[in-house]
A and B are shown apart, each in its own frame.
Chain A
Amino acid sequence: MTAAKRDAEPKTRMVRVHAGIVGAKVEEIEREVSADEPPPLGLNSELSVLGKRTPRIDGRLKVTGAAKYTADVRLPGMLFASMVTSPHPHARVLSIDTSAAAAHTQVRAVHILERVRDVAELRDKSKELPSKYPVVRFAGQPIAAVAATTQAAPTKPRVLSKSSTSLCPSSLTRTRRARQTRRRSSPERPTKSGTAGGGGGPAGVKQSGNVRGPVRRGKKSDDVEKGFKDADVIVEGEFRTQVQTHSALETHGVVADWKPEGSDRLRLDARDCERARRDCGIFS
């Protein structure tokens, strides 16, 4: 096909299509579409699948309890991992005694974390407190993990209960003044890199005490004052809420099936694919 001939062909064509809201008003209109546009869909009533009720494909499985979630998977010889977490919001771990865990009949392995993923990191790492283990910066921060033949075993004796910690200052009150005047929970401004705790904020955002921000969002041209002036009604109030985190009922978890021949299989929960992808990284 020559260039001249291609130019001669029309780039668009006119078609008559149905438009509007089903149930309210649907009418036939003429619309200009590109020449290679496929034919328009017919009305729902003329289609066999679109617009038709269809039962949820896994409905029966889910109402009978037959649906298998990751937490329901049991493999032969499977071990259950559970985390030992910090009860303190800010502390240095001085020593960890794993002898009780090692002696437990159901415990197969103890792993002490050398670093914690996705927590806030100091902007100037040279100012970090001297510590053999990662400094605890939020209550619930993982310190170690235990693998055992039963899910309940690690909680039976507090396997790492002999570990000693040195508590550091923390501020748990929520008024702005209290947070600003009290000591920070880290010696340097932290940058929040992931979804775990530890305070801080995005890189470059101002931090004062334990308060971050303010952060300006939206376009610079947005004029809040003008918006108020133009508004018919202004409602003012102060609203507080706890942090609302992703909290699906399905408990997060991964079942890993290590094969000697190398074709490992991971079964992830279905709730947070991005997190699951990151979790997979620890196996690589």
Chain B
Amino acid sequence: MAGSESKEEKGDEQKGSMTRRGFLKGAGLTAAGAAIVEGGLLGVQEAAAAAAAEPRVVGPGRVPVTLRVNGAAKRVEVEPRTTLAEALRFELGLTGTKVVCDRGSCSACTVWLDSTPICSCMTLAVDVGARAVTTIEGLAKGDELHPVQEAFVEYDALQCGFCTPGMIMSCAALVERKRDVTLEDVKHAVSGNLCRCGTYPKVFEATLAASKMKKAGKGAD
């Protein structure tokens, strides 16, 4: 998925009320913790520090979490194992984010953490911290669609529409990040987004058009 290329920003652990370090302390660096370290989400030194420090236990009952979603602070109570996708869909009613595989294989659940596309089914809600969550519902500015949304309609880059929110979040992140988007860029950006209707050629066309649209200053910035 597109998010797998992204590296977590340094210093994130200071920003959140519930941090990765805190989570790992709670997890006590179990096998799952070690896998996270191997996966590159956490530096080895940081992991060692987390293991040495006093563990902070969260749960197993519901814990209050404040999520910054689409510009608004939302307080929810979730079990620690609740994923961001579940919190968005069940607690906040933001059902635009779709859950298909629920294991980071299809990217249908892609949302942004700050400006980075991530699989919300692979992110714990308690682990989001103060980072800004942007979902498909928060991409347009009022009635004004994001250029990628506009281009998806214009170029008919969707059929059943179930992969579309995740697909758009991946493509929009690319268009936001890069000024001159190439076909290879788009292919890379959606390399983890599965579409079984076969809309990829139109997704490529739409995203390239959106990039041009944005460059020309049309649509939302």
Q: Which residues of A contact B (CB under 8 A)?
A: 55-56, 58-69, 71-72, 74, 150-152, 247-251, 270-271
Contact A249 B96 (CB under 8 A): no
Contact B161 A62 (CB under 8 A): yes
The one of A62, A66, A247 in contact with B158, judged by C-beta atoms closer than 8 angstroms, is A62
Tally of contact residues, B, Cβ under 8 A: 39
Q: Which residues of B contact A (CB under 8 A)?
A: 79, 81-82, 86, 89-90, 93-100, 106, 108, 135-137, 139-140, 145, 149, 152-154, 156, 158, 160-165, 168, 194-197
Contact B162 A72 (CB under 8 A): no
Contact A65 B162 (CB under 8 A): no
Closest A residue to B195 by CB, please name it: A249
The one of A61, A151, A249, A270 in contact with B98, judged by C-beta atoms closer than 8 angstroms, is A249
In the bound assembly, the distance between CA atoms of A192 and B25 in angstroms comes to: 52
Rounded to whole Å, the gap between the CB of A259 and the closest CB of chain B is 23
10 residue pairs from A and B, CB less than 8 Å apart = A56-B153, A64-B139, A64-B140, A65-B97, A65-B165, A69-B98, A69-B162, A71-B99, A151-B90, A152-B82
A72 / chain B contacts, CB cutoff of 8 Å: 89, 95
Contact A63 B168 (CB under 8 A): yes
Contact A249 B194 (CB under 8 A): yes
In the bound assembly, the distance between CA atoms of A66 and B139 in angstroms comes to: 12
In the bound assembly, the distance between CA atoms of A248 and B199 in angstroms comes to: 13
A59 / chain B contacts, CB cutoff of 8 Å: 152-153, 156, 158
In the bound assembly, the distance between CA atoms of A48 and B8 in angstroms comes to: 54
Contact B162 A250 (CB under 8 A): yes
A151 / chain B contacts, CB cutoff of 8 Å: 86, 90
Closest B residue to A56 by CB, please name it: B156
| A63-B162 contact in complex given A151-B90, A249-B98, A249-B100, C-beta closer than 8 Å | no
Rounded to whole Å, the gap between the CB of B156 and the closest CB of chain A is 6
Contact A65 B95 (CB under 8 A): yes
Contact B160 A56 (CB under 8 A): no
Contact A55 B153 (CB under 8 A): yes
A250 / chain B contacts, CB cutoff of 8 Å: 100, 160, 162
Contact B96 A64 (CB under 8 A): yes
In the bound assembly, the distance between CA atoms of A61 and B94 in angstroms comes to: 14
A66 / chain B contacts, CB cutoff of 8 Å: 96, 137
| A61-B161, A72-B89, A151-B86 known, 14 other contacts, Cβ within 8 Å | A56-B158, A58-B161, A59-B153, A62-B164, A63-B136, A64-B136, A65-B97, A65-B165, A71-B98, A247-B196, A248-B160, A249-B160, A250-B100, A271-B160
Contact B162 A248 (CB under 8 A): yes
Contact A64 B137 (CB under 8 A): yes
A249 / chain B contacts, CB cutoff of 8 Å: 98, 100, 106, 108, 160, 162-163, 194-196
Closest B residue to A155 by CB, please name it: B81
In the bound assembly, the distance between CA atoms of A270 and B197 in angstroms comes to: 13
A270 / chain B contacts, CB cutoff of 8 Å: 160
Closest B residue to A74 by CB, please name it: B93
